[in-house]
């Protein structure tokens, strides 16, 4: 594993800060949506769109691209912001979030915006879609193998499938059917990443419906399990590099995140799950993020 250079980490931190500012701006313009989750996942999305993913914003349907599935579609503002800053569409379009006729719907719609792999919203469904994509990719690679009789062992799937999940959607039964399917079929080209922020709309996940021990549950279904700090770019990148070394199991990365990360008033507060800032609050939150950006620039 090659450690990230400090200059690259600083670059990613600045990009994540810009994405968080865009999230606040687009949510206050929309007047509805979700705040805590998108802010909490800004570092993960930044790492993927600006370092990890093999993708081409100028050619969103490029056949060799990595596939990124967002299961918990309600946090899509962070994906839209990352895509805009990566060059998929103008940053100014972010202010059309949730407007009639906008390509940026409150939950992602695949046919509206190039670069989205699936339409999502119903929690617990994303991993099943990702399993189908990963399984199909392996079948295609096997069909192209010069020695088909060797089956999947000879197949080289160059692009990978990633599925981002909320922790609370692990309370859905159909999610665990997909976990079993991926483990049974040894989908090593599939990586799930769980946003482990411990909140859902009604409070703490561990009070609503306890999930622990999440790691042991995945291990029981033949998954490699990695746990990281979801705000540490070196850990995010290092974990993904480890998934590429695994050849016989799918991998889940449990990313421990802070809901509302970057805005002190929102951090760890579950009431911001489905609430958006008022205009005056947005000014205060943006000021805090700009101050943080200055500190990053000055390496304080």
Asked whether the predicted pLDDT for residue 110 surpasses 60, the reply is yes
pLDDT at 2: 64
- How much is the average pLDDT of 274-298? 95
pLDDT band at 3 (very low <50, low <70, confident <90, very high): confident
pLDDT tens-place string over residues 56-83: 999 999 999 999 999 999 999 999 999 9
The alpha carbon torsion through 137, 123, 105, 129 (nearest 10 deg) reads 10
Q: How far is CA 194 from CA 64, 71, 202, in A?
A: 25, 10, 19
pLDDT at 157: 61
Query: 6-297 is classed in which CATH architecture?
Result: 3-Layer(aba) Sandwich (3.40)
Mean pLDDT of the chain: 93
pLDDT tens-place string over residues 233-257: 999 999 999 999 999 999 999 999 9
Specify whether the CB–CB gap between 183 and 131 falls below 8 A: no
The secondary structure of the chain, three-state, reads CCCCCHHHHHHHHHHHHHHHHHHHHHHHHHCCCCCHHHHHCHHHHHHHHHHHCCCCCCCCCCCCCCEEEECCHHHHHHHHHHHHHHCCCCHHHHHHCCCCCCCCCCCCCCCCCCCCCCCCCCCCCHHHHHHHHHHHHHHHHHHHCCCHHHHHHHCCCCCCEEEEEECHHHHCHHHHHHHHHHHHCCCCCEEEEEEECCEECCEEHHHHCCCCCHHHHHHHCCCEEEEEECCCHHHHHHHHHHHCCCCCCCEEEEEECCCCCCCCCCCCCHHHCCCCCCHHHHHHHHHHHHHHHHHHHCCC
**Residue position matching structure tokens 């279904």:** 221
For the chain, the domains span: 6-297
**Residue position matching structure tokens 């895509």:** 83
Of 10-19, 35-44, 141-150, 163-172, the range with the lowest mean pLDDT is 141-150
**Between residues 286 and 156, the one the model is more confident about:** 286
């Amino acid at each position: 594993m090659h450690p990230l250079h400090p200059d690259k980490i600083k670059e990613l931190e600045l990009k994540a800060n810009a994405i968080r500012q865009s999230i606040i701006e687009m949510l206050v313009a929309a007047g509805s949506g979700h705040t805590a989750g998108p802010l909490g996942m800004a570092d993960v999305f930044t790492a993927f769109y600006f370092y990890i993913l093999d993708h081409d914003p100028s050619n969103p349907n490029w056949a060799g691209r990595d596939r990124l599935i967002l299961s918990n579609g309600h946090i899509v503002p962070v994906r839209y912001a990352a895509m805009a800053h990566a060059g998929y569409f103008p940053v100014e379009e972010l202010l059309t979030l949730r407007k009639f006729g906008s390509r940026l719907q409150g939950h992602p719609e695949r046919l509206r915006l190039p670069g989205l792999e699936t339409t999502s919203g119903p929690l617990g469904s994303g991993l099943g879609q990702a399993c189908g994509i990963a399984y199909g990719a392996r079948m295609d690679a096997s069909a192209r193998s010069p020695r088909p009789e060797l089956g999947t062992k000879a197949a080289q799937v160059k692009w990978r499938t990633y599925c981002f999940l909320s922790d609370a959607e692990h309370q859905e039964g159909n999610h665990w059917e997909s976990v079993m399917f991926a483990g049974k079929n040894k989908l090593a080209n599939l990586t799930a990443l769980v946003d482990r922020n411990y909140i859902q709309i009604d409070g703490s996940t561990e009070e609503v419906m306890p999930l622990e021990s999440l790691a042991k549950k995945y291990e029981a279904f033949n998954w490699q399990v990695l746990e990281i700090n979801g705000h540490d770019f070196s850990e995010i990148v290092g974990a993904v590099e480890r998934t590429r070394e695994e050849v016989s199991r799918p991998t889940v990365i449990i990313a421990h995140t802070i809901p509302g990360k970057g805005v002190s008033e929102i951090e760890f507060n579950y009431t911001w799950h489905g609430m958006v800032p008022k205009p005056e609050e947005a000014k205060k939150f943006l000021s805090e993020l700009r101050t943080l950006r200055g500190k990053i620039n000055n390496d304080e």
